[in-house]
Amino acid sequence: MENKGRFTGSHVLITGAARGIGFEIANHFAREGAMLSIMDYNQELLDRATQALKSLTTAVHPYYADVSNLSMVRDAVAAAEKIQSIDILINNAGIAFETPFLQIDEKEWKQILDINLTGMFFVAQTVCRFMAKRKKGVVVNMGSKNGLAAEFGYAHYNASKAGAILLTKTMALELAHLNIRVNAVCPGYISTPMSMEIDPPGFTENFVKQFIPMNRAGMVGDISPLFLFLAGEESRFITGQIIIADGGQLAGQKPADDLLLKINPG
C-alpha cells in the first residue's frame, strides 16, 4: 500500500473525523499519502471510519476522545505524538442544533461552547505546545459562515464559530514566530449527517433556492481540498486567514429569478 502523495511522510491529526466533513478530510489526506491520527467521541463511528480508511492507508490511528475533555485530549495527543510527531492539526469536531435565543438554557449553551470553542482550544493548545518545541507546524480550524453572519435560531452555534475565527487569528499572531501557521475554513451549507439530522425534509431545497447563488448545497468534497491547501506548501505564506466556501451566500442578497432573467435574458 505504498502511496506517494503530497503529504507522504506527514502526520495529520483530525478531530471529529468519524463522519461528515472530517471523514472526507481524512480520506483526502490518506489518498495523498499522510499518516492519520483520527479523534472522535463516537466509538462505533470511529471503528467504522478506521476500517474504511484502512483500505486507503495502513497508517491510521484512532483515538476515542471528547475534545471538550482536557485529560482525554492530552492522553490522545501524547499517544499520537509517541507514534510520530504531529505535523498538521485539523480541528474539525463540532456540533450544532437549533434553539431560539430566548429558549437557550445553560446546558445547551455550555454544550455547544464547550465542544466547538473550548474543545478547539484544548486540542490546539495541547498540540501546539509540541509543535512550538519543534518550531514547525500547521493548524487548520473549522469555522463556519455562521461565525461571520448570524443565522437566526443558532445564537449559541454562531457565537462558538465567531469565537473559533478570532481564536484562529490570535493563534496565528502568537505562533507565527515559532513557524506555526494557523488558518480556518468557513463553509456554508454542506450536506452531511449533521445537517440531515437538524433539517426537516424539504428544508435544503428551500434554503438553496432562497439563499445560495450557486443553486446547490455544498458537498463534503467541496470543503476538504481547502484544508489540504491550507495545510500544504502552496499556502506557506498564509496565516491568520479564513477561506469562505458557501456557494456565494455571504456575497450579498441572492437575486430573485425574475431579476436574474432581466439582467441575463435567454
Q: Give me the active site residues, please.
A: 157
| Residue 68 binds ligand NAD, judged by CB under 6 A | yes
Taking CB under 6 A as the rule, does residue 16 contact ligand NAD?
yes
User: How crowded is residue 82: how many other Cβ atoms within 10 Å of its Cβ?
Assistant: 8
Confirm or reject binding of residue 141 to ligand NAD (CB under 6 A).
no
40 contributes a contact to ligand NAD by CB under 6 A? yes
**Cβ closest to ligand NAD, residue 7 vs residue 189:** 189
Residue position matching grid coordinates 506548501 = 233
Asked if 14 touches ligand NAD (CB under 6 A), the answer is no
Q: Which of residues 181-240 bind ligand NAD (CB under 6 A)?
A: 187, 189-190, 192-195
- When asked if residue 67 is in the footprint of ligand NAD (CB under 6 A), the reply is yes
Only segment of 86-94, 101-109, 227-235, 248-256 that touches ligand NAD (CB under 6 A): 86-94
Candidates 32, 66, 87, 222: give the one binding ligand NAD (CB under 6 A). Answer: 66
- Told to check if 76 binds ligand NAD by CB under 6 A, we report no
Would you count residue 73 as binding ligand NAD (CB under 6 A)? no
Q: Give the shortest CB-10-to-ligand NAD separation in angstroms.
A: 22
Query: Which of residues 33 and 92 has its CB atom nearest to ligand NAD in the complex?
Result: 92
User: What string of H, E and C letters represents the secondary structure of the chain?
Assistant: CCCCCCCCCCEEEEECCCCHHHHHHHHHHHHCCCEEEEEECCHHHHHHHHHHHCCCCCCEEEEECCCCCHHHHHHHHHHHHHHCCCCEEEECCCCCCCECHHHCCHHHHHHHHHHHHHHHHHHHHHHHHHHHHHCCEEEEEECCHHHCCCCCCEHHHHHHHHHHHHHHHHHHHHHHHHCEEEEEEEECCECCHHHHHHCCCCHHHHHHHHHCCCCCCECHHHHHHHHHHHHCHHHCCCCCCEEEECCCHHHCCCCCHHHHHHHCCC
Of residues 19 and 33, the one with the C-beta less far from ligand NAD: 19
Minimum CB distance to ligand NAD, residue 16 (Å): 3
Q: Could you list the residues that contact ligand NAD (CB under 6 A)? A: 15-16, 18-22, 40-42, 45, 66-68, 92-96, 115, 119, 142, 144, 187, 189-190, 192-195
